[in-house]
Amino acid sequence: MIQEGKYRRIVVKVGSNVLTREDGRPDTTRISALVDQLARLHGAGIETILVSSGAVASGRSLLEPRTGRIDTVSARQLYSAVGQVRLMTRYYDLFHEYGIACGQVLTTKESLSTRRQYLNQRNCMEAMLAAGVIP
């Protein structure tokens, strides 16, 4: 357990393997347990940032029965586009149970490629944290 007052901010990174079951579908029990832990940190006054993978896996499990197994860049983009909404909705619903708002910041290497872009991303995250929102 994290000692209260020791940390001001924590970044938690979870990958697709953590968020999905063996069959590729979202592991709602594990996602719920993750949100429970993050809500406790948030409630202890620790600024909490969630960096989450899982959009492609979430979309694939939903669409693959319709599309068949395809593994192209456009297929991953399709799965990600659909899965991101599904994943964020799940996070939103779970955090909402604790009265916590969460928000999405889409970041790529290109989003951080210039000082100006980096500062825009940082300022967005700082504003979210200041408002008590979990990015």
Write the pLDDT tens digit of every residue in 80-117.
Answer: 999 999 999 999 999 999 999 999 998 888 888 999 99
Distance between CA atoms of 37 and 21, rounded to whole angstroms?
A: 19
36-86 pLDDT tens trace: 999 999 999 999 999 999 898 888 888 887 776 777 888 889 999 999 999
Among the listed residues 99, 89, 5, 103, the one whose alpha carbon sits nearest the alpha carbon of residue 50:
103
**pTM, entire model:** 0.87
